[in-house]
Amino acid sequence: MDNQRLLIWAFFGMMAWLTYQAWMQDNAPPPTAAPAAVEAPAADQPEVDLPALTDTAVDAPDVLPAAGPAVDETGAPTAPFIRIETDVLEVELSLQGGTVQRAMLLNYPVAKDRPDDLVELMSTDSNQVGLIQAGLRSAGEGPEANHRATFSSAQHRFEIGGGDDLVVPLSWSDGAGVTVEKRYRFSRGSYTIVLEQQVTNASDAPWRGAEYAQLQRRSFEQKRSMFDVDSYSFDGPIVYDGEKSEKLKRDDLVDDGPYAFASERGWFGAIQHHFVSAVIPQPDTSQRYNVSVRGQVSTASSIGPTQVVAPGESKTFTTTIFIGPKLQAQLEDIDPSLKLTVDYGWLTILSQPLFWLLSKAFGIFGNWGVSIIAVTFLIKLLFYKLTESSGRSMAKMRNLQPRLKALQERYKDDRQQLSQAMMELYKREKVNPAAGCLPILIQMPFFLAFYWVLLESVEMRQAPFALWITDLSVKDPFFILPLIMGGAMFFQQRLNPQVGDPVQIKVMQVMPIIFTGFFAFFPAGLVLYWVTNTVLSIAQQWKINKVVEAQAKQKKGGKKKPKPD
């Protein structure tokens, strides 16, 4: 196997893989200027149908009325709303149905240079539609506490203040003895919202109905750019059916129609790169799920089985909502399967332990850049013996250069004889010409794993390193790290033998330039990993070269005839 040729193919294979990933990922983040045709769901617009109650004996309508809340021409809500503020969230609940119509993440600016422009996952804005609606279906023809019903609240502003928990109650009554209290529970430092819907039946007839929830989110056509790493992350609906998660492509929902399933441990949500909005019905309750796209809005919903509340009794339906960054610890506290929203692709088996290592290192150093350097050092140490044998073979190849050049001169007109003579020389000197491929083959999976960890882990979003590197998840603003990396790769080449035909040698000589161009637009954290790995490889190869040269001199000296007395 020709070492140089394999390295070239390995590089272009990596680039082809990244390009393939770009094409396979659907529903990229929306363009900066959203299409003017997008409209926020208002009271006079039809919504995606919700499933009927599961009890066939119940005479219930198959479709709920239009989605709320109502908005004016500018997209501002016309229905009254209440505002809730915790230490991490600012939320607006519409009194029309208790809909979550706005959710702002107080600790996450859209860009580091715009600290006051915060990420907003729920909104009535026509370009960034996001609504979480929940309610109760009733069996009869009378009023029901769905997301269009009018609720009341004792106050219009709630703050967590110095407390650890905050409960926001909303009330509704059908006027005939059935009342519903919606309680939204917030906790300090948490992006989890627990919704409790308590039905109290003070009438003289049984109440029959079911709870439901739905998430509406803007849905745009795919737009991607190699200069924007964010655009390679999935953006769109995701569901979990109790066994596996599935990201639903916009085109499939448009072409094939709604996606439906039933599960007792399912959930649904919407991913926006580092952030997720998810609705998790009460576990161990049979739920039917439906996801569809209509226009520029996707709608995911669930509905439970029909329940009966006898006169004089009450029943509470519980739904868990998560609106926030993909903090894996918080997601796992709700349900371990929610960690699947952090998608490392087919390299999860490597990326997940890598993230765990980085997290532990961050706990020690308090800096993600230093953590990347420390973990790179550990990886290098782990494979030291394996790469050492490869390095020794490369060092021996370096010492064989004069003899290889002599063979090339001797058999310059006979390539077959040249190859045979070179193989005999390698065999005689116990040199493996393909050994130099091993380090890059080891590095490649870790490189790709680091790529997805940096791309998907919100913990590293806008994380600073040092000096001019203020965000490890985006490209180096001054391209200094890629230039350092190119220089390090050039120096590394000088430590290794230049073998192969003249064309291959010239290609290898320009590889540092090609790598520098590609890496210029990669996340700074990824370039930091490659720079660290290259520097450690240089140090290792330099040491091995010195040892092998010393051994060769000693061996050569030992073969000299002793001088006569």
Task: Give the pLDDT confidence of 157-169 residue by residue, as tens digits.
Answer: 999 988 899 999 9
- Tell me the mean pLDDT in the region 105-118: 88
- The two beta strands, 81-85 and 157-159, are parallel
Looking at residue 243, its amino acid is E
**363 has pLDDT over 70:** yes
Q: How many CB atoms lie within 10 A of CB 401?
A: 12
**425 has pLDDT over 80:** no
Which range scores top for mean pLDDT: 127-141, 188-202, 401-415, 515-529? 188-202
Judge contact between 538 and 489, C-beta under 8 A.
Answer: no
144, exposed or middle or buried, with CB in 10 Å at 0-12, 13-18, 19+?
A: buried
**Distance separating alpha carbons of residues 205 and 226, to the nearest angstrom:** 63
- Tell me the mean pLDDT in the region 53-74: 43
Predicted pLDDT of residue 234: 81
What are the structure tokens assigned to 179, written together? 């009342």
- Using omega within 30 degrees of 0 as the cis cutoff, is the peptide bond preceding 69 cis? yes
**309 has pLDDT over 70:** yes
**310 has pLDDT over 60:** yes
Predicted pLDDT of residue 35: 31
What are the structure tokens assigned to 86, written together? 């915790």
Predicted pLDDT of residue 520: 82
Predicted pLDDT of residue 461: 84
Predicted pLDDT of residue 406: 72
**Per-residue model confidence as pLDDT tens digits over 6-29:** 444 455 455 454 444 444 443 334
Predicted pLDDT of residue 397: 63
Sign of CA dihedral 45, 47, 53, 57: positive
245, exposed or middle or buried, with CB in 10 Å at 0-12, 13-18, 19+?
A: middle
**Per-residue model confidence as pLDDT tens digits over 338-359:** 988 888 877 788 888 888 999 9
Predicted pLDDT of residue 502: 57
Predicted pLDDT of residue 290: 94
Question: Where is average pLDDT lowest: 186-200, 352-366, 469-483, 532-546?
Answer: 532-546
Predicted pLDDT of residue 393: 63
Predicted pLDDT of residue 325: 93
pTM of structure: 0.76
- Tell me the mean pLDDT in the region 50-77: 44
What are the structure tokens assigned to 45, written together? 């617009």
Question: Where is average pLDDT lowest: 118-122, 229-233, 263-267, 332-336?
Answer: 229-233
Half-sphere exposure of 179 (CA within 13 A, CB side): 10
**140 has pLDDT over 80:** no
Which range scores top for mean pLDDT: 391-405, 483-497, 507-521, 527-541? 527-541
Judge contact between 182 and 94, C-beta under 8 A.
Answer: no
**423 has pLDDT over 80:** no
Give percent of the chain above pLDDT 90: 34
Question: Where is average pLDDT lowest: 5-19, 121-135, 549-563?
Answer: 5-19
Half-sphere exposure of 440 (CA within 13 A, CB side): 18
**146 has pLDDT over 90:** yes
**Per-residue model confidence as pLDDT tens digits over 233-286:** 788 899 999 888 998 888 888 888 899 999 999 999 999 888 999 999 998 899
**97 has pLDDT over 60:** yes
**Domain boundaries, given as residue ranges, for the chain:** 3-18+352-555, 51-343
Burial code (b: 16+ CB inside 10 Å, e: under 16) for 303-336 equals bbebbebeeeeebebbbbbbbbbbbbebbeebbe
- Confidence band of 565 (pLDDT split at 50, 70, 90): very low
Give the CA radius of gyration of the chain. Answer: 31
> What is the architecture of the domain spanning 51-343?
Distorted Sandwich (2.70)
- Tell me the mean pLDDT in the region 172-183: 93
Looking at residue 273, its amino acid is H
Name the strand (E) or helix (H) holding 157. Answer: strand 157-159
Predicted pLDDT of residue 432: 61
Judge contact between 203 and 173, C-beta under 8 A.
Answer: no
Predicted pLDDT of residue 362: 92
